[in-house]
Structure 1
């Protein structure tokens, strides 16, 4: 094993300017060490917080192979987090491994969102030990920039405690194609609302300026991934095309402009390839007109551009073959794809562990050493600015006291309650009063709801015939897709299958029914809306948070962050790139009814955090 460089090297001196430290280190690096910096792939946590061996499910080499053998220093935490202390232990072990390399370049660890309810290995992880908040759509439903900044600042502190220094979020794509499977991670359909909230999001994670107390944000998916043909997702070959029938390409740039103004540190181009525009019909990560012409030159962005995961190499994920998402350049070899992406202006390859490709490109003269150094400088600069060279380790003992702290959890739960969105609340029963809030002592029939969430506030019964009111929680409809990985992406039809729709309508006719639909994208719900005594939608709220609102112990103040279409035909006829373009929507973006707390425990359960989340309709 080679001996680490002495700590007296200028790049080790925290008293020197960052630019001087970068240049000193750059001059010491070999071609192989530089190439390793350009690859940012996944890494799991081993048992008890140990470093993992090779992971065949995702085709990952061991941590030792990637750090010591391939010189890699950027990793994306994959999968559910263990305890905070184990995660901190894993991070420190990774930094200790990096310290054994010749130059001792510290590791930067990133993560997809892991503070809500989504569990998809390609997009987000369940909160686990972290505080649990609504999905980004839920934050948009509340529409309060102050809440978004408090959320981001809270998560920043949790991330810092375990060594997570890059957020592979926020996702600021506009939800203009209702069928797209990635809408759940966005702020919805409204460009103005998204732009306002992304500023607060970036400031909460990074502060006014990126520094040792920051978590860098990677804004995605440039230049906007919403206009997907038929709503299909470009993780998969059948979803590779982005189309602009309304000529509305520029509109999708608005949230990115806001993020750049707020100082976002990194950008991720999307997989999709634009069709029928002035831009080359290749995936955005290979698209020089987009990455260099638009992002670098027009917007002057000089931060890190990290390509989305898996652009170069065919792989296998969870037993499912996954071709490289090299849309429009499928005919090129991995080496040629790497060259095209670097020519486009990309600094780093997500989800890849192939430094030898860059080494070969430079040695052959296909990519110049000067071009390589441009990206290496950016990547080193951020490590220095984040303070990783000066203090790469975290306090394992303190991690558990920060992550999931009681006040952090309370704030997340308050936001979940605030994001509950009431769309209809019709009079029912002998007194002909709105069904919500539910009266104390009511007999409730539940479907999809944990009876423990009711507590002693009502009586849970076994059948609709015994009930005063039914409460039903449903997931938004979608068409199941095959494959262990592909099945995580909810795409296709926005309508419930006929049998399920008719079952819910029959229940509504049997007993006044409160129907809650968890929306990870819009849904077509006219029959359910007409039959339900109350139609509620949520965007990441626990059973307890929902019941607190329905039973009058907390306020529900959510507003729809997108239109709910009235029919599939209206969706098919709409223009993919144009917001609010479905004809005669069932409910408009911004719709929602106030449901203020009324129950006897309201003063005790509506905390200051609840009050702080209230806002006017977006």
Structure 2
């Protein structure tokens, strides 16, 4: 029962002139959610259960057409389909991002109960540009990938990163993070390792706690960014390292019997109050829990995993959001990525949706097919009480974040906070510190003095900090070369070209060419690792061999010259050969025979100051 508003803070979200309980900031989030749940129409409750991609329009305006990846105009998904959770892709300047947030929140205020929008994002503070995984930093401060944070061996550095990222997100209205990714990097070929904390379960558990502290705080509140910890129950043990985005990578296997080890970071995340958890696409093969076989269907469809393990055994009662497109194929232009309906390919979208709901998930990632769920309720195949369970969980997060009271941001403040000089400095320092020195023959590092330098993969400005840049190794005193870790290029399915998969071997032609460079001048070689690489032939050539996990040219030069000494330690082992990789077990950390460099290796601490 409502009353006229006695408070200047009152916002009449439903326009009835009365302070209804859900509009009352003095009540608990639980009281407010319970009140609003009873007021919402079935269509509004169903809309809460979809979380899809959205794209801003030019200059921070609303996009009134379908986007490059988003399927519907903004006014349609908010005003007609009643969606209130959106994963934002491309963002412009900080001011434009803030302006767009305010525009979509104003649009949300025009809906029957003024339910605010929750804007989410994949990671966007590092170097990976992949619409299925992560975005480069753009206007935000730039940091190493999570592998680089792991290489620092410092949970406080993780918490500091998360706190800075939280402040930048808040400034532009991003209130949900589709991260951290706490899968263990146990299969060297797997293409999703850059955003993990490496192969160690103990380290991932410590780091996810620090990460959640920085983003969410002790509990969700108006200053928090709600985190989705993924991918439950651990997406690392992909058969042959193939990624489960794609049909050939659907199987997840446990030849070493290490299923429980992969759960450790999720136990830590649950203990720290993660707002949401996302199951992976993978389909467990040959897995038994409690002496019973687990159904061989993708984890998002898997009742034994979502309800039996996550809800009942681990006691998690927060939001479970599926990974993207478990119901419908993803069609972008003339490119297609089949629905990741692994193990249930024979079901139609209706059957897949039922399977997800029966598993115990609350929200459909990457989907906006509200009519399908409405029809399932109206036909009696899904009870409205089941919808209420998930809708209440989703509303609780919005109330705890304070979105119902003030979802708007200050455009001027956004420009001051995002990419602030102190944040940029902290990110650059972390990039340099995370550089890992694997070889330093003859004490070549740190580089001092002025030399004639031959450089590849460095900007002219960064190379010039090392000395006089020359065009030919034969006339150089030093060669500095940057490489990316190798992968097999694939480009059949949508998104496939952006995933680095397949062999970890460098092509023989590159090795031969670098041998000629090394014969002409001492070679300093840096390899950017988004997953391990077989460095064996290169380690023999380089006078100094370093690896990074997302480092700008300027930050790398800071590390090589000792301006910011490199401290990194490998967050996973470096295999000696692809034969050793193929013989290793997918679920066992650091399992290749006679690795070239073991996990934890790094010479940075022994370099002269």
Within 5 Å, give how 1:512-527 maps onto structure 2.
512-527=522-537
Indicate how the Cα distance of structure 1 residues 344 and 464 shifts in structure 2: closer, same or farther if over 3 A, else same.
same
Instruction: Give 2:604's aligned residue.
Output: 594
Instruction: Give 1:203's aligned residue.
Output: 213
Instruction: Give 2:97's aligned residue.
Output: 87
Structure 1: stretches of 5+ with no match in the other structure: 428-433, 600-618
Residues 4-13 or 533-542, more deviating: 4-13
Q: Given the alignment, which residue of 438, 459, 478 partners 1:469?
A: 478
Give yes or no for contact 2:283–2:343 (8 Å, CA) kept in 1. yes
Distance 1:249 1:456 in 2: 48
Indicate how the Cα distance of structure 1 residues 402 and 7 shifts in structure 2: closer, same or farther if over 3 A, else same.
farther
Instruction: Give 2:519's aligned residue.
Output: 509
Instruction: Give 1:178's aligned residue.
Output: 188
Instruction: Give 1:54's aligned residue.
Output: 65
* Offset at residue 437 of structure 1 (A): 1.3
Instruction: Give 2:456's aligned residue.
Output: 447
Indicate how the Cα distance of structure 1 residues 506 and 210 shifts in structure 2: closer, same or farther if over 3 A, else same.
same
The runs of at least 4 consecutive aligned structure 1 residues that moved more than 4 Å come to 2-7, 595-599
Distance 1:65 1:518 in 2: 42
Indicate how the Cα distance of structure 1 residues 411 and 596 shifts in structure 2: closer, same or farther if over 3 A, else same.
farther
Deviations 1:113-144 (A, max 9, x none): 00001100110001000000010000000010
Determine if the alignment matches structure 1 residue 575 to structure 2 residue 585: yes
Give yes or no for contact 1:57–1:319 (8 Å, CA) kept in 2. no
Give yes or no for contact 2:108–2:115 (8 Å, CA) kept in 1. yes
Q: Given the alignment, which residue of 268, 279, 282 partners 2:294?
A: 279
Instruction: Give 1:405's aligned residue.
Output: 420
Q: Given the alignment, which residue of 46, 57, 63 partners 1:35?
A: 46
Distance 2:483 2:590 in 1: 25
Give yes or no for contact 2:191–2:242 (8 Å, CA) kept in 1. yes
* Offset at residue 355 of structure 1 (A): 1.1
Distance 1:358 1:338 in 2: 8
Give yes or no for contact 1:555–1:596 (8 Å, CA) kept in 2. no
Determine if the alignment matches structure 1 residue 482 to structure 2 residue 491: yes
The 3-state SS of whatever aligns with 2:481 is strand
Structure 2: stretches of 5+ with no match in the other structure: 1-12, 288-292
Distance 1:595 1:18 in 2: 49
The 3-state SS of whatever aligns with 1:184 is coil
Instruction: Give 1:341's aligned residue.
Output: 356
Determine if the alignment matches structure 1 residue 369 to structure 2 residue 384: yes
The 3-state SS of whatever aligns with 2:194 is helix
Give yes or no for contact 1:57–1:316 (8 Å, CA) kept in 2. no
Instruction: Give 2:396's aligned residue.
Output: 381
Q: Give me the TM-score of the superposition, normalised by structure 1.
A: 0.94
Give yes or no for contact 2:14–2:114 (8 Å, CA) kept in 1. no
Determine if the alignment matches structure 1 residue 126 to structure 2 residue 163: no
Instruction: Give 1:234's aligned residue.
Output: 244
Distance 1:346 1:418 in 2: 40
Q: Report the aligned-residue RMSD.
A: 1.4
Instruction: Give 1:603's aligned residue.
Output: none
Distance 1:480 1:171 in 2: 24
* Offset at residue 6 of structure 1 (A): 4.2
The 3-state SS of whatever aligns with 1:183 is coil
Distance 2:394 2:206 in 1: 28
Give yes or no for contact 1:317–1:485 (8 Å, CA) kept in 2. no
Determine if the alignment matches structure 1 residue 115 to structure 2 residue 125: yes
Give yes or no for contact 2:453–2:466 (8 Å, CA) kept in 1. no
Distance 2:16 2:63 in 1: 26
Give yes or no for contact 1:265–1:303 (8 Å, CA) kept in 2. yes
Determine if the alignment matches structure 1 residue 352 to structure 2 residue 363: no
Deviations 1:266-321 (A, max 9, x none): 00000010001121100000000000000000111011000000100112135311
